[in-house]
């Protein structure tokens, strides 16, 4: 059939550039497909569901992490406090303290969200006066990990920050961060029987207490210590603005060594004044002597927070004489009494009942109190208006042991806490009874038989008078 016959049937020849019917159909289909948004909604919805699922999962992971972290920090806080408390009551036994902390921690995390690893341990630090948590615990975070497919990133998270800020630390503190002011009077035996190794052990024990009790920053809360060496009397410093008046008939004079008071104020801390003079130790039958046998190194040191002065005083102590423990006891009290502040105003004791204040006496001796001075008048010495006596019967009210116990009772009534330390007492029941009666209670009396036991006793006292606080 020719072209003419085709045209005669009504068909036209296709013009160049015009689409065919099939092409137009395909184009229409493509255009319709491109304009159809029904499939994209499903895809977007699917992606949104996945993202939402991940967000919920990450939120779950994070909530588990925060919960476990808080439980871990609370558990370590409680554990280090329990361990530090064990240091206080067990004489600084580090192994026992670590065991207490570990047991307490394990009990505290029993209901914690399960973790993958836990290496937390507890160590004693700061020269045996603090406990800190070490190590870490890890918790799994599967949803966070899913967001980093093909890597180990965020498979687990540590519960404690690696910079140490989350590591609980409990510190034993006197005053300072413990928010307590402290006044301590240490009565130290320097009698002849303390010569040699016993004196060395005593110096070490007393120095240890000073190092624990006196801290550096005294700006807000203070810890002060007074040292009262004693033998047959107590030698007082003559550097005070109004040192002390001593009776000699109707006059008064100064003397560096003193003995007990007499009269109605014998067992009080009433301030010294006319008719209530401090009594002098004298070897003269006609006058009050301005000298005494105790060396200058044995001078008592009033309350101070100067650690260097305290340690220097302790290291310089020498031995001499017999044991007038009641005189040492009395002056330990006077050092803590606000009524005696006029003797050394720069070392004045705070008033009784002051808030956030502890007053503590530590009384140490190595034997029976066996020397005292008696008189019917105000002036009392070996020969002046009195007689030196040797005491073996504590029932004798004039004897040193009975006087010491009476003074201790008055001190405790004034609110002073008393620790007593016996050192190699040799089984003397009189010495044991005197010290145990003076102590606040049975837990405040130490009967040390060796140098190591003496050091442990002083350290235990230092830790017991400390307060606990969390430093981090």
What's the rounded mean pLDDT across residues 34-56? Answer: 65
What's the rounded mean pLDDT across residues 417-438? Answer: 94
Most confident of 74-88, 124-138, 247-261, 307-321: 307-321
176-470: CATH topology is Rossmann fold (3.40.50)
pLDDT band, very low/low/confident/very high, at 204 (cuts 50, 70, 90) = very high
- Beta strand pairing call for 279-280 and 156-158: unpaired
The conformation of residue 278, written as its DSSP 8-state character, comes to: B
- Beta strand pairing call for 156-158 and 121-125: unpaired
Between 267 and 42, the more confident residue is 267
Residue 183: predicted pLDDT = 96
Residue 188: predicted pLDDT = 98
What's the rounded mean pLDDT across residues 402-412? Answer: 94
pLDDT at 15 over 70: no
Q: Do 226 and 335 form a contact (C-beta atoms < 8 A)?
A: yes
Going from N- to C-terminal start, the domains of the chain cover 38-172, 176-470
Between 104 and 362, the more confident residue is 362
Q: CA distances (Å), 209 to each of 3, 86, 94, 202, in order? A: 127, 18, 17, 11
Cα–Cα distance measured from residue 433 to residue 392, given in angstroms and rounded to the nearest whole number: 13
What is the chain's length? Answer: 472
Please state whether 51 falls in left (phi above 0), alpha (psi between -120 and 50) or beta.
alpha
What's the rounded mean pLDDT across residues 428-443? Answer: 94
Residue 77: predicted pLDDT = 85
Characterize 128-153 residue by residue with b for buried, 16 or more Cβ atoms within 10 angstroms of its Cβ, and e for exposed. Answer: bbbbbbeebbbbbbebbbeeeeeeee
Cα–Cα distance measured from residue 422 to residue 219, given in angstroms and rounded to the nearest whole number: 35
Three-state secondary structure call for residue 188: strand
Q: Is the pTM of this model over 0.85?
A: no
Can you tell me which residue has the tokens 């001075």? 373
Residue 291: predicted pLDDT = 52
- Helices and strands in the chain, H and E counts: 11, 20
Residue 380: predicted pLDDT = 34
Average confidence score pLDDT of the chain: 78
What's the rounded mean pLDDT across residues 120-126? Answer: 86
pLDDT band, very low/low/confident/very high, at 276 (cuts 50, 70, 90) = low
Cβ-based neighbours of 255, under 8 Å, separated by 6 or more: 246, 280, 281, 282, 288, 289, 290, 291, 292
pLDDT at 65 over 90: no
Residue 290: predicted pLDDT = 44
Q: Which residues pair with 423 in a beta bridge?
A: 448
Residue 285: predicted pLDDT = 38
Cα–Cα distance measured from residue 66 to residue 466, given in angstroms and rounded to the nearest whole number: 34
pLDDT at 272 over 80: no
Cα–Cα distance measured from residue 143 to residue 161, given in angstroms and rounded to the nearest whole number: 21
Q: Which residues pair with 421 in a beta bridge?
A: 364, 446
- Beta strand pairing call for 301-304 and 279-280: unpaired
For residue 459, which of 99, 124, 102, 218 has the smallest C-alpha distance? Answer: 124
Can you tell me which residue has the tokens 């009967």? 447
Most confident of 265-274, 396-405, 447-456, 463-472: 447-456
Between 222 and 53, the more confident residue is 222
Cβ-based neighbours of 226, under 8 Å, separated by 6 or more: 183, 184, 185, 186, 300, 301, 302, 303, 304, 332, 335, 336, 347
Here the tokens at position 248 are: 């000699």
For residue 304, which of 397, 254, 239 has the smallest C-alpha distance? Answer: 239
Residue 217: predicted pLDDT = 74
Between 248 and 90, the more confident residue is 90
pLDDT band, very low/low/confident/very high, at 385 (cuts 50, 70, 90) = very low
What's the rounded mean pLDDT across residues 147-173? Answer: 68
Query: Of 90-104, 184-198, 355-369, 429-443, which gets the smallest average pLDDT?
Result: 90-104
Cβ-based neighbours of 5, under 8 Å, separated by 6 or more: none
What's the rounded mean pLDDT across residues 369-394? Answer: 48
């Amino acid at each position: 059939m020719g072209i003419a016959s085709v045209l005669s049937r009504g068909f036209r020849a296709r013009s160049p550039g015009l689409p065919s019917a099939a092409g137009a159909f395909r184009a229409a289909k493509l255009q319709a497909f491109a304009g159809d948004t029904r499939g994209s909604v499903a895809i977007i919805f699917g992606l949104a569901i996945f993202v939402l699922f991940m967000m919920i999962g990450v939120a779950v992971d994070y909530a588990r992490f925060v919960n476990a972290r808080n439980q871990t920090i609370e558990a370590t806080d409680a554990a280090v406090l329990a361990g530090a408390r064990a240091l206080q009551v067990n004489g600084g036994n580090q192994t026992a303290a670590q065991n207490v902390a570990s047991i307490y921690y394990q009990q505290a995390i029993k209901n914690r969200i399960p973790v993958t690893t836990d290496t937390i341990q507890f160590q004693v630090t700061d020269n045996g006066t603090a406990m800190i948590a070490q190590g870490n615990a890890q918790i799994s975070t599967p949803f966070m990990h899913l967001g980093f497919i093909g890597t180990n990133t965020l498979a687990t998270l540590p519960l404690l920050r690696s910079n140490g800020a989350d590591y609980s630390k409990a510190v034993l503190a006197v005053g300072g961060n413990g928010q307590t002011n402290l006044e301590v009077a240490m009565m130290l035996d320097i009698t002849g029987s303390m010569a040699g190794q016993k004196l060395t052990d005593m110096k070490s024990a007393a120095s240890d207490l000073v190092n624990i009790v006196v801290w550096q920053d005294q700006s807000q809360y203070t810890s002060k210590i007074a040292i009262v060496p004693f033998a047959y009397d107590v030698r007082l410093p003559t550097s005070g603005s109004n040192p002390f008046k001593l009776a000699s008939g109707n006059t008064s004079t100064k003397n560096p060594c003193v003995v007990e008071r007499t009269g109605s104020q014998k067992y009080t801390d009433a301030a010294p004044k006319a008719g209530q003079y401090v009594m002098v130790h004298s070897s003269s039958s006609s006058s009050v002597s301005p000298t005494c046998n105790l060396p200058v190194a044995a001078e008592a040191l009033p309350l101070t927070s100067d650690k260097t002065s305290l340690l220097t005083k302790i290291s310089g102590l020498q031995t001499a004489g017999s044991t007038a423990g009641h005189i040492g006891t009395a002056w330990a009290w006077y050092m803590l009494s606000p009524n005696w502040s006029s003797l050394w105003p720069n070392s004045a004791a705070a008033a009784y009942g002051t808030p956030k204040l502890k007053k503590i006496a530590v009384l140490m001796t190595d034997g029976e109190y066996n020397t005292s001075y008696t008189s019917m008048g105000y002036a009392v010495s070996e020969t002046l208006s009195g007689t030196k006596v040797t005491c073996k019967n504590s029932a004798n009210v004039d004897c040193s042991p009975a006087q010491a116990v009476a003074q201790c009772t008055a001190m405790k009534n004034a609110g002073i806490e008393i620790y007593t330390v016996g050192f190699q007492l040799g089984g003397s029941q009189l010495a044991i009874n005197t010290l145990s009666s003076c102590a606040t209670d049975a837990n405040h009396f130490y009967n040390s038989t060796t140098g190591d036991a003496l050091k442990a006793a002083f350290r235990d006292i230092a830790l017991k008078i400390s307060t606990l606080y969390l430093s981090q």
